[in-house]
Each structure stands twice: as structure tokens, then as C-alpha cells.
Amino acid sequence: MLNCKSNSEQKELKNQKEKADSLPYGICLFLLLSNCLGFTEAIASPSKESHAPAKIDAKLTDKRKNELGKTIKIYRLRTWVQGLAEISFEKDKVKLENVDKGIILLFKAPQWKAQMYSPSAGLYYETSAAKWMPEDVKTIATFRPSDPQTLVPGTAIDTTLMNTPCKLYSLKAREQQKVGKDARTWQMLLLKEGKLWTIAKGQFPKEVTAAVCRYLGTPQIDGLPLQLTATNFGGTPKEEVNLLKVLDRKVRADFFDVPPGLKKAKNIRDLAGQTANDAEVFEIMR
């Protein structure tokens, strides 16, 4: 058979053959499979259908987030006894979180027991609300010249505090001290009167509100304390409890539950933050 191809054509075919022979076997196989499966085309122009699962997953994720919990009111306080704290509640539960010490106090119907726990320590302690008394409250009350918890609530008026409807109680000392101009310094430090703002009047059992008041160092009242100002005979007011902010926070469904996996403490002193530290003792004695 005669070879009809020109010399230039034969030379081109020879060059293509040499290039093909020079390619590694793996590359040739990859190009072959890619061409058969349409892989390169899929990369160059991905189909719209490929994004559909991601959109569905995003919708499911948003739905799960919505099902995790609901938005509740958080009342952030700065307290002289406990530092930074946050109070939150619903009709059948109360939660008080000591942000500075990492301690949480919880009360829930129907038993309304005092459940105190520390996630960082992995411990919890439980007792009746009536018997519950933290060690740091005992320590501070002992050293103070006059304890705000001894002030007696008088008349109350309806008012608002940071757009929150609440009760404002006037407070007076149990026994009026006769303090004159020649009074000693310690007598001038005795508390004469005060003002107490509270919420949730009549919503919770008496032993529950009394336990919360003990923890925050306020007079016992029917309600949850938001702010307390106490004034001594020297005319100096002191912010014992100060409402810093009212927050709308979305929380998990288990926000008012004791976390699982915590070990039960033998007594309340086993939980962290139940003894006054050096800074607190210095402030007390100052």
C-alpha cells in the first residue's frame, strides 16, 4: 500500500506519538477517566442542584436553634456582698447566677429546694430553701458595723426601674439610735434607713424570696430584690444592690436545670466561692 501522507503530516504524527509516550501513565489514565465521567465539565460549570442540600441543611439548623429555647428577661446586678450577679425567673422557677464566683442558685416548683451548683467545680449542693445559708453571707454580716438585712420594710409604692414595673419599699432601722453631734465614728456608720426595689411580688413562696434576699444581703421581702440603697446616720448612702442592665436573652431549653454529670457535695463549703477572699475582707474592714 502506498503511503499517501506527505512528509509534513508524517512528521506531525511522529511528534504527537512522542508527546503521548512522554506523559506519565497516571496522568494519561486520569485524563481518560475525567473525559469519560465528565469530571472536568462538572468542575468548570457546577450545576445549581449541588447547592440544594446546603440550603436545606441551613434551614434545618435555623429550625433547631429556634427550638433550643426562648427569650427571657435577665436582670444584671452589682451587689456589695456577692459581686456581679444575674437574676432570671419564670412562674415556677428562679435562677440566681453569681457571675464573679461561677456559682448558680436555682429554685423550682413544686418542691422549691435550694439547688446550688458550680459547673467549674463539677459539684452541686441541695437543701431546703428555709435552711439554705451560704458561708460568705455569715462572714460578711459578722464584720459589718450595721447589716442592711436588719432594716425593716415599711410602706411600698408602685414604680418603675429601667422600664421594669416594681415595688419600692421604704426601710427603717429596727431600733432608732440616738446619734448626736458628739457621736462616735462607729455610731455614725450604723444604718438609719434605706430604699428597696423589688419585682415578682406574690409570685414565689416566702422561703424562696427569703433565701434570695439572704444571698444578696437585703432585707427579706415578698419579691426579688433589684436595687437597695442604705443610708447611715452620717448621711452617707451606699449602693448595696444596683441594677445595671435588663437584658433580653435567648436561652437553651435546659437553662433552668442543673447540668447532668455533677457530683453531690457533702456540704455547701465544698463549692468554690463560699469563703471571703482577701479582697473582700479588706473591703469589709475598710
**Block mean pLDDT (10 aa), the chain, length 286:** 52 56 51 46 43 46 56 96 95 95 95 94 94 78 81 95 97 78 76 95 96 94 96 91 97 94 88 52 48
Residue 253, helix vs strand vs coil: coil
Look at residue 76 and tell me if it is in a domain: yes
Look at residue 250 and tell me if it is in a domain: yes
Look at residue 126 and tell me if it is in a domain: yes
Kindly report whether the global pTM for this prediction surpasses the value 0.85.
no
Please return the burial class of 168, using the count of CB atoms within 10 Å of its CB with bins 0-12, 13-18 and 19+: middle
Please return the burial class of 107, using the count of CB atoms within 10 Å of its CB with bins 0-12, 13-18 and 19+: buried
Separation CA 286–CA 267 (nearest Å): 31
- Which pLDDT does position 284 carry in this prediction? 47
Look at residue 253 and tell me if it is in a domain: yes
Say which amino acid occupies 221: I
Separation CA 135–CA 241 (nearest Å): 19
Look at residue 23 and tell me if it is in a domain: no
User: Which residue's entry shows cell 437584658?
Assistant: 247
Q: CB of 113 within 8 A of CB of 121?
A: no
Look at residue 20 and tell me if it is in a domain: no
Domain limits at 89?
71-177+184-285
Q: CB of 198 within 8 A of CB of 159?
A: no
Count of the separate structural domains present in the chain: 1
- Which pLDDT does position 45 carry in this prediction? 44
Look at residue 80 and tell me if it is in a domain: yes
Which grid coordinates belong to 45?
A: 460549570
Q: Which of these, 81, 120, 77, lies nearest to 95 by C-alpha position? A: 77
Look at residue 246 and tell me if it is in a domain: yes
